[in-house]
Every structure is written in structure tokens, then in C-alpha cells.
Chain A
Amino acid sequence: MNSPGFLDIVSFGPDGWGHVLAAGAWMTILIALAGIAIGSVIGTFGAWAKISGGPVPRAIAEAYTTILRGIPDLLVIYLFYFGGSAVVTAVGQFFGAEGFVSFPGFVAGALAVGVTSGAQQTEVFRGAFRAVHPGELEAATACGMGRVLRFRRITAPLTLRHALPGLGNVWQVVLKESALVSVTGVVELLRQAQIGAGSTSLPFDFYFVAAMIYLAISTVSGAFLNASEHWFSRGVRRG
């Protein structure tokens, strides 16, 4: 193969990089989805702790959101990657394995992205819960709903509806943050672009294509989120 041109990078042919870049983009989406899913669980508990937890859960949630919003995401990724490896190595040595065992980068990355986005989602859910009209919760209690039933039928759907715009912002942040997971060696979109740049000496072309793919993912998912926001808010009066 002669020195490849720009078209070879985006083509899906035998010499093209299209397939591996698409696989990298898919991995990026998977990391972002896993991260935002982990973050939503943390965010739910965090919001619960801040709204109706006792003084101890509230203090923990407060410390968690303050710390995670004040330190760089890259540091959190290092914590999970190296920290996870240290734990796995210790467990491995306990069972008789020799030497250093590395922690899977995907798990470390998803956990790190999840923990950082969890801090943001805590605030999103807390704000969304405050937007739910107390009368609606009162009405549910008056109908004789138990706490679980009321949460499932009334609180959760109404909170989610108000949380959608905020969650859309968190999603965009998470998608861009997933690029940092490339430092752990997970072959997502940016890492794949790095590999391509290294083996063809066309760094600009590869990073440019990667940037365009990120832009496409964020634009398409943004449009989808807007549409779903519109759909789920059709019962909300505007203006």
C-alpha cells in the first residue's frame, strides 16, 4: 500500500480504516452509556441523600459532589485504573498469581466516568425533584398509595421528565469525557485514531476524522434527546 490518502481513512474497503474507526466509535458510545448508567444510580442515591437523607448521608453526598466537581476527570480515571489494578493484583496474589495484574480499562473507565457524572446527575435529579409540584405527591398519598408505589408511579416519572434537559447536558459531557478513557489503553475512537495516526503518519487526517465522528455522535444524540424531551413534556404547560 502506498501512502494512504484521506479517502483511505474513511473508506470501508480492504485498505480502509472505516471498519476499525466505526468499531472505535461504537466502543466510545458503550463507555459513555455504561458511564451514564452507573452515574444515574449514584445520582439517584445522591439526590435522595440530599433531599431526604439524615445528616450523615447528606454530608456524604455534599462532600461527594463538592470533591468530584472540583478535581479533574483525568485524575479520577487514573485513580480507578491504577487503584483497580492494585486491588486486582492484591487479590491475584492472595490466590497465588504472580506479578502485576492490570485492571480492565473499560471497567475502570466506565466507573470513573460514572462516578464523575454521578456528581452532576445528583444535582440534576435534585433540581428536577424540586420542580415536581408537591400537590401531585400529596394527591398520590391521598389516593392511598404506599411509598414504593408512589415513587414508581408518580415521583420517578415526574422527576425524570424535569431531569431530561439536564441529563442531555450530562450526556454531552460524558461523551466527551469518554475520550480520556483512551489513556487506559481501551481502543475507543480516540485511541483508534492514535493507532491509525501512528501507523500511517497522517495524524491530522485521523484526528480530524475522529473529531467529526464525535461531532456527529453528539449532534445526532442531541437531536434525539431534544425530541424525547419534547415528547415527554407534552403534558407540561409552557409560557
Chain B
Amino acid sequence: MDIAFASETLMSLLSALPLTLELAVTAIALGSVVALALALARLSGILVLDWFARAYVFVFRGTPLLVQIFLIYYGLSQFAAVRHSIFWPILREPYWCAVLALMLNTAAYASEIIRGGLLSVPHGQVEAARACGMPRFMIFRRIVMPLAIRQALPGYGNEMISMVKATSLASIITLMEITGVAARIISESYRVIEVFVVAGAIYLAINFLLTRLIAFIEYRLTPHQRQPLAIHGELKGEAH
């Protein structure tokens, strides 16, 4: 492996890192809002909302992300109404089309994760909050949501990692993020292995840090599950 070439590649790939992170963070942040709305629609008990959310999740989880990107980036421009609408300056940009597609896609997967979290909140907790006289929104904000987030976090972490990986598809609609730059360097130099190793290492590093971050948040959110060290020692002593 050519070290000089690899370090040169590393520098050009690192300059594409901000775009990858920007795509991932924007899509995950906006997607989480849509996902929460979808999860609440599923659990609302209102038939129309319920079926809309079901259909949404079914369609977005059943089709490839690349098709969704193409449908938004190339497909929507077919309609004159879209081209003349106020959204055109946004839908014309490959960046916003990629963000939109990634966001809508992650919302479908994340809504199921959030729904699982919301369903896992023990009924007794909600009842206790109601008995304390909390109004509905306060129960949701103070009791249901924190418990649901704690439960959904590991699954959401996996979804975030697959989103970081999914940003690579933005390179197909001309965005020069890490994979796009890597593909350009490969097709210019035909040195596949070096570029692959460097690009792969960057993605691995991002995902490793993301995993650690989520593990840390999970640790902070579950103090009640940590065993106090002193008591742990006493219990050990009793066993003898």
C-alpha cells in the first residue's frame, strides 16, 4: 500500500466528511420528528391516521432507498406544477432531495422503534401520573416520553448507524460526500484497495464514535439499573 497516496486520499476524503455528517444529522433530526408523528398516529386510535401511518411504513420499508431518492430527485420534476411551485428552489437541489429522501426513509423505520418504546411504558406509571393530577400533555412530556426514549434508544442507535451508511447513496445524485469523492478517486487512479481502506476507516470511525455516544447516553439514562458497588460487595459476601 502506497502511504503517500493513502494520506493524500485521506485528506481529500476528510474534506468530504462535513457533508456526510451534515446529511446524516439533518436527516436524523428531521426524521425523528416525522417518526414521532407517525408513531403517535399509529397509537392514536383514529382509524384514518392509523392506516395512513401503516401504509407509509409499509411503502417506505418495502422499497429501496435509492428508488425513493430517484423518485424525489428525478421523478418530481416531471410535473409542471412542481416546477412552478414555491418548493422548486428546494426540490431542484440534489442536497435537499437527498435530505428529504433520507428523512422520509428513516422516519418509517424510526417510527416503529418509537412505537415499541411508547408501548413499553408500563400502564401503572401513566395511571400514577394521572392520579397525581397531571394533565395529558404533561404526562406525555414528563412520564411517557422519557421512559419511551430510554427503551427505544438501542434500536434508534442502530437506525442512526444505518443512516450514516445510507448517506453514501447521495453520491449517486451528484453529491460529493465521502463515497462520492472515493468513487471519483477510484475512477481517476484505479487504486481501489487504498481508497476503499481509507474511506471504510472513516465510516468505521464515525460509526464507532456514534456507538460509544449512544452507549454513554444509555448509561446516563438508566441509573436505576446500575448496581451500587458497595451493596454488590455485600451480596457477594453473603453467598459464602
Chain B interface mostly helix, strand, loop or mixed?
helix
Distance in angstroms from A3 CB to nearest chain B CB is 11
Complex contacts, A66 vs chain B, CB 8 Å: 204
Distance in angstroms from A36 CB to nearest chain B CB is 16
Contact at A211–B68, with CB atoms within 8 Å? yes
Interface string of B54-67 (1 = CB under 8 A from A): 00001100111111
Contact at A72–B203, with CB atoms within 8 Å? yes
Within 8 A of A (CB), among B61-112: 62-68, 70-71, 74-79
Select A82's contact among B58, B65, B75, B187, beta carbons within 8 Å.
Answer: B187
Complex contacts, B65 vs chain A, CB 8 Å: 176
Contact at B66–A182, with CB atoms within 8 Å? yes
Contact at A78–B200, with CB atoms within 8 Å? no
Contact at A204–B168, with CB atoms within 8 Å? no
Contact at A83–B59, with CB atoms within 8 Å? no
- Bound Cα distance A204, B78 (Å): 6
Contact at B192–A207, with CB atoms within 8 Å? no
Contact at A211–B190, with CB atoms within 8 Å? no
Contact at B59–A75, with CB atoms within 8 Å? no
Known A70-B207, A71-B203; contact A82-B190, beta-carbon cutoff 8 A: yes
Interface string of B192-219 (1 = CB under 8 A from A): 1100100110011001100000000000
Residue of A nearest to B170 (CB): A74
Tell which of B133-141, B148-156, B178-186 binds the partner. Answer: B178-186
A219 touches B (CB below 8 Å):
yes
Residue of A nearest to B200 (CB): A71
Select B200's contact among A67, A204, A218, beta carbons within 8 Å.
Answer: A67
Contact at A201–B78, with CB atoms within 8 Å? yes
Select A179's contact among B67, B78, B196, beta carbons within 8 Å.
Answer: B67
- Bound Cα distance A202, B167 (Å): 26
Residue of B nearest to A210 (CB): B67
Contact at A75–B67, with CB atoms within 8 Å? no
A129 touches B (CB below 8 Å):
no
Contact at A197–B74, with CB atoms within 8 Å? yes
Known A179-B67, A203-B70, A205-B78; contact A215-B59, beta-carbon cutoff 8 A: yes
Complex contacts, A44 vs chain B, CB 8 Å: none
Known A74-B171, A176-B63, A219-B62; contact A79-B70, beta-carbon cutoff 8 A: no
Apart from A75-B203, A201-B78, what 18 extra A-B contacts exist at CB < 8 Å? Answer: A70-B200, A70-B204, A70-B208, A71-B204, A72-B165, A72-B169, A72-B179, A72-B203, A75-B182, A75-B196, A78-B182, A78-B192, A78-B196, A86-B190, A183-B172, A193-B70, A204-B75, A214-B63
